[in-house]
Structure 1
């Protein structure tokens, strides 16, 4: 049995972490403040912070600090992060065709 390519495995490890896909989708629409993402996503602030730090460490997201009062911090995708746009778009296209509204409702009910 052949082994998975380590680079592919690493990529899947990153994008398959819970909530990462939704965070990337949010940031594909442009820069966002933490509070905006916290409002838009069904995720706790602590977990959102954890995922953003992980994505920043991976070079996918960058944190921009503006020395205003109050301090403004925005998150955006790096060039590496922008490279995921076709991947995210294709997953969206696939889900539009193959994931039924009933499957989504079943998932919500299970939580």
Structure 2
């Protein structure tokens, strides 16, 4: 993963963004952070990244200001990872990828993996970013995530498989 430099090779904001978050593992790590994971092992379990790959991506995300590392244990030394303001600001991109993936990357009859409910009015917002019930634009903090049974089972199975190793 490329590091942000002080001398950009292009003025294109898309290319610059891809330098920071343009690979599968980085986006999956961010997805896990948005879903509430903060510890290395849980992020590794749910992304299925190798420890080396995950460590490299986390260091890059930290160096580029998308996450902050916080010590939670002294012996052994352990850290958790939290989104910075810059990292939280990337959420609409992942939310849009989710909507696109639900629309274009699933077979007919497959259920939505994660439903989002507008906390204020209690209605499902579907795949959009405006509540269809009250017409209010919604952000990450306005929503409660309801993970489908199938996706929840997939996540539980990943934890179990990891513990069997």
Give the one of 74, 77, 88 matched to 1:82. Answer: 88
1:58 aligns with 2:58: no
Separation in 1, partners of 2:71, 2:51: 18
TM-score (norm 2): 0.54
Separation in 1, partners of 2:78, 2:47: 20
1:18 aligns with 2:10: no
> RCO (CA 8 Å, sep 6+): is it higher in 1 or 2?
1
Aligned length: 99
Separation in 1, partners of 2:11, 2:99: 26
User: What SS does the aligned partner of 2:80 have?
Assistant: strand
Unmatched runs of 5 consecutive residues or more in structure 1? 102-111
1:8 aligns with 2:14: yes
The structure where helix makes up a greater share of residues is: 1
Q: CA RMSD in A?
A: 2.0
Task: Work out which of the two has the higher radius of gyration on C-alpha atoms and give 1 or 2.
Answer: 2
